[in-house]
Every structure is written in C-alpha cells, then in structure tokens.
Amino acid sequence: MALAEQVAERQQTLVALNRRAAARDRELIGHREVLATYGYHGDPDAVRAVLPLASYDLSAGFGLTGPLWEAEHGGQDFSAYAGEPLVAVADGVVTEVAYAGPYGLRTILTLPDGTEVWYCHQTDATVVVGQEVALTDVIGSVGSTGNSTGPHLHLEVRPAAGSPVDPMEWLRDRGLEP
C-alpha cells in the first residue's frame, strides 16, 4: 500500500474514533444533566441515590408530632405541584402499589439492601409490583390522596423494612443536599 493511502486510511480511523468519543461524551453529558436535575452533581459512575423530585419545597420534617399525625411523623414532606413526576431515588424493585389508608396511593420501592422507600399521597402510579426500576425512572406523580392537606410527597425510608429513619439524613449520606 502506498504511503499516501496508508495516511488517508489512518486519518479515516481517527475521524471515526473522534466521532465515537464525541457521541460517548454527549451520552455522558445527558446522563449528568438528568442526575443534576435530581440533585446529584458528583461522578455519574459513583451515584447511589437522587432526590425524588426535580422541584419542591420542604415542608413537615421527620419526627414531628401534631394533630395531623397519629404518631410521630415518619417521613419527610416535599410540597410540589400535583402531577409533578416522582422518580426512583435508587435502583430497586417495586414491591407495592396500593391505596393505604392515611398514606393515600402509596408505592413502595425495595432496594437491594432491603431498605423500603415509601412514596405516599400520589395522584397516580406508573409502575407495577415486581417491576425493576433504575434511579431517576419515573414511578408516578405527586398528589394529595389519603390524609393530606395539599399536594405533596410524603417520603419514608425504612432500612430492612423496619422503623423509619430521617429521609433527609439518608439522602445527605448519599451526597445529596435536599
């Protein structure tokens, strides 16, 4: 093969490699943007959790007592517009989608370590029991079903499917600033 041909061939290979790298960058930037939308700004390969909503106002915190709750408030409330998409905070499997009295329409996501994440008062759910979801996948939307005075997400985090812990701490431990 003539030297000129060899050079031309090598040039084409480089162009193809660059195109592939650019496509990979675009994919990665897209992924980064989605993670950032849900509050994660770190290394995409190291992500463990994201926030359940892209936009919200924090309302009632964990552990409060008052006339609204039979016992201590077992979760964190995120006020948001009705219909706002709720996303999986981590990879897991859907283990319940049902109306649950004061919790309204509730979806339970069970993580690989056995932690349950409860999404309560939903308007609707877009997942079914047994479905595997990845973090940032939409699972339903914000509502005001059950014992609720306005559209909001009541989020509970229950390690080993036991007593609830403060979702804010759980999220902060995963590099998020809710």
Q: Which of 67/130 has CB closer to Zn ion?
A: 67
Among 49, 77, 157, 164, binds Zn ion (CB under 5 A): 77
Minimum CB distance to Zn ion, residue 124 (Å):
19
CB of 75 to Zn ion, least distance (A): 5
Residue nearer to Zn ion on the CB measure, 59 or 95: 59
Cα–Cα distance between 149 and 129 in angstroms, integer? 28
Query: Is the distance from CB of 121 to CB of 140 less than 8 angstroms?
Result: no
Closer residue to Zn ion (CB): 77 or 84? 77
* Nearest partner of 143 among 84, 94, 89, 102, judged by Cα: 84
Beta strands 85-87; 92-99: pairing state: unpaired
What part of residues 151-170 is at the interface with Zn ion (CB under 5 A)?
Answer: 154
Span near Zn ion by CB under 5 A; candidates 26-34, 102-110, 132-140, 149-157: 149-157
- Of 73 and 87, nearer to Zn ion (C-beta) is 73
HEC profile for 51-71? Answer: CCCCCCEECCCCCCCCCCCCC
Sign for the pseudo-dihedral over CA of 153, 154, 157, 162: negative
Residues at the site binding Zn ion, with contacts judged by CB under 5 A: 75, 77, 154
